[in-house]
Amino acid sequence: MTQKPLPALFQEGIRFECQGTAQCCLSRGSYGYVYLTLKDRQRMAKVLKLSTLAFTRTHCAKTDGHFHLKAPEKDCHFLIGTRCSVYSGRPEQCRTWPFWPENLNSKTWNAEIVPFCKGVGKGRLYSTAEIEVLAKRDPIR
Ligand code: SF4
In a domain, 126, yes or no: yes
pLDDT at 29: 65
pLDDT at 1: 44
In a domain, 29, yes or no: yes
Collapsing DSSP to helix, strand or coil, 29 comes out as: coil
Half-sphere exposure of 25 (CA within 13 A, CB side): 21
- The residues, ordered by sequence, that sit 6+ positions from 7 with a Cβ below 8 Å of its Cβ are 104, 105, 106
Ligand 1 atom at minimal distance to the Cα of residue 44: 1
In a domain, 105, yes or no: yes
74 Cα: distance to centroid of ligand 1 (angstroms): 12
pLDDT tens profile 98-132: 999 999 999 999 999 999 999 999 999 999 999 99
pLDDT tens profile 24-78: 998 876 678 999 999 999 999 999 999 999 999 999 999 999 999 999 989 999 9
In a domain, 2, yes or no: no
In a domain, 82, yes or no: yes
In a domain, 40, yes or no: yes
Identify which of 18, 27, 33, 34 to mutate to test ligand 1's pocket (most ligand atoms within 8 A of the CB).
34
Confidence of residue 3 (pLDDT cuts 50, 70, 90): low
In a domain, 3, yes or no: no
What average pLDDT does the segment 86-107 reach? Answer: 95
- CA–CA separation, 115 vs 124, rounded Å? 19
Whether ligand 1 lies within 6 angstroms of the CB of 43 is answered as no
- How many C-beta neighbours within 10 Å does residue 43 have? 20
What is the domain extent for residue 12? 8-136
In a domain, 1, yes or no: no
pLDDT at 128: 96
Domain count, the chain: 1
